[in-house]
Amino acid sequence: MIEINIINAFSDNYIYLIRNEQKKITSVIDPGESGPVIKFLENRSWHLDEIINTHHHHDHIGGNAKLLEVYKSKLIAPIYDKSRISNIDVLVSDNDLISIAGIKTKVIHTPGHTLGHVCFYMADEKCLFSGDTMFYLGCGRVFEGTMDQMWSSLLKLRSLPNDTLVYFGHEYTSSNAKFANHIDPNNKMLKETCIEIENKLEIGLPTTPFELGKEKTINPFLRADNPNFINSVALKTNNPNEIFSAIRLKKDNF
Ligand code: ZN
Ligand code: FE
């Protein structure tokens, strides 16, 4: 059993601090900043054993250096980013089975946002750390990879069990919800979920994590191969790759 603590960073980043109380192991995922992490650790007198990065962007690794200096933690990061992230101890690639906070974790390579991006899946804990690949009602912008790569990456994540809780990298949920409603206006489940989301945000609560099963029916970026949904976005193609690309481009300019 692990405890997953959500730490806010910058204006909308989420850092996840994982604590395995039984084994006394503490790990952090995507520490964009060190300050809030150190404060959190000091409040509980925890040592930081592991730092894990999903990809090389500064808002996910910016706290690495200071945390490594203070705690001498083990740094786990994608093999593709070996020259873009400093001081990596463990390089990971697709399908690797590793241990994070003493929990068996599968590495899932999800190129698209960046070429090296990886997500971390803990089957026994029913949770996924999706970085900037999948957000609540959204997905990451496609910077380094192709649209086809991003769609394939999202399909990999979509194939995980419905009861998986997804811990994502940015609080973009409100703007994602607006876009999802815009292109999928007749989705009742989406409407209901948006009310829940609004209620959370109104009282300052994070919307992370979300449940993957429901997400499969309401996140437009997971539904490019769904015939009903395709009709509602009125695109003249049945090719999921083209539909995904069209939806992503629409969102970029929304
Ligand atoms: Zn990023
Ligand atoms: Fe980011």
Question: In the 8-state DSSP scheme, what is residue 73?
Answer: P
pLDDT computed for residue 232 by the predictor: 65
pLDDT of residue 68: 98
Shortest CA distance to 19 belongs to which of 44, 38, 36, 39?
Answer: 44
113 Cα–ligand 2 center, Å: 9
Question: Which ligand is closest in space to the CA of residue 117?
Answer: 1
Per-residue pLDDT of the chain (254 residues; tens, 9 = 90+): 899 999 999 999 999 999 999 999 999 999 999 999 999 999 999 999 999 999 999 999 999 999 999 999 999 999 999 999 999 999 999 999 999 999 999 999 999 999 999 999 999 999 999 999 999 999 999 999 999 999 999 999 999 999 999 999 999 999 999 999 999 999 999 999 999 999 999 999 999 999 999 999 999 999 999 977 776 666 778 899 999 999 999 999 99
Ligand 1 center–CA 142 separation, angstroms: 10
Of 23, 51, 24, 25, residue with least CA distance to 37: 51
Question: Would you say the C-alpha torsion 30, 137, 97, 110 has a positive or negative sign?
Answer: negative
- Ligand 1 centroid to Cα of residue 252, in Å, is 15
Distance CA(84)–CA(70), nearest Å, equals 21
Span from the CA of 59 to the centroid of ligand 2 (angstroms): 5
In the reported structure, the alpha carbon of residue 73 is separated from the centroid of ligand 2 by a whole-number distance in angstroms of 22
Q: Which two tokens stand for residue 132?
A: 């900037």
Ligand 1 centre and the CA of 170: distance in Å?
9
Ligand minimally distant from the alpha carbon of residue 55: 1
**Residue 62 C-alpha to ligand 2 middle, in angstroms?**
11
Q: What is the pLDDT of residue 229?
A: 74
Residue found under tokens 């989420």: 14
CA of 62 to the centre of ligand 1 (A): 12
